Amino acid sequence: QSALTQPASVSGSPGQSITISCSGSSSDVGVYDYVSWYQQHPGKAPKLIIYHVANRPSGVSNRFSGSKSGNTASLTISGLQAEDEADYYCTSYTTSSLYVFGTGTKVTLL
Amino acid sequence: QVQLVESGGGLVKPGGSLRLSCAASGFTLSDYYMSWIRQAPGKGLEWVSYISYSGNAIYYADSVKGRFTISRDNAKNSLYLQMYSLRAEDTAVYYCVRLDRSSDAFDIWGQGTVVTVSS
């Protein structure tokens, strides 16, 4: 159960777009569309922002979008805002019927 | 409103045991899979275990398999995690989380309960 690989940090200026990658394998990200993304502010519980690769739950800003190509999923945040500063995690269902999280990415505004 | 509230965390010595509880409200527990997810201090999220609607299917992360037991009581709207043979590396915030199988995502999270394993 190796963690999915994410960049440790990504930064951008207000209004810009950034993309966070989530690299897995043919046993998880590559075989299922069961990839979801979570936003976590310091001291708070994580919040679901994307499910099934590219779907947004009700109430989540359309500035968040997801995609997948092969064994790598991606989260794009467009029109970066101060409130987007947080940690972001991907997760995927696996062929072993387990779940695995990404290593996490800290998003900071320049 | 939909809510999950964990309890039972605390300080325990290495090798000790602890039982976490999670009280669900605002939804019908038996309609959902449930899961435990943890986060060590300053570290990322780690999926621990999940249990199916009636408990027929249960899965664990390799790191806790054989030491932790997940269970549920739908009549009491409660989820549990019994932890045995605790190690320092089990120190973490433990989150009770609803797993929605229609979205295959962890859609509702509790506020977490802190487990510290130290002598």
Q: Tell me the C-alpha distance between A7 and B35, whole Å.
A: 26
Q: Which amino acid is at A14?
A: P
Place of tokens 């991907």: A90
- A34–B104 C-beta distance less than 8 A: yes
Among B35, B45, B95, whose Cβ lies nearest the Cβ of A89? B45
pLDDT in tens, A39-84: 999 999 999 999 999 999 999 999 999 999 999 999 999 999 999 9
Q: Is the pLDDT reported for residue A1 higher than 80?
A: no
* A-chain residues near B110 (CB < 8 A): 45
User: Beta strand B18-25 with B10-12: parallel, antiparallel or unpaired?
Assistant: unpaired
Q: Compute the distance between CA of residue A104 and CA of residue A18 in angstroms, rounded to an integer.
A: 15
Q: Which of B4, B34, B37, B45 to mutate to test the interface with A (most CBs of A within 10 A)?
A: B45
Identify all chain B residues contacting A88, using CB atoms and an 8 Å cutoff.
Answer: none
Give the residue carrying structure tokens 């009549």: B75
How do residues B93-109 score in pLDDT, each as one tens digit? Answer: 999 999 999 999 999 99
Query: The tokens 């790191």 sit on which residue?
Result: B63
Per-residue pLDDT tens digits for B25-53: 999 999 999 999 999 999 999 999 999 99
For tokens 């269970």, the residue is B71
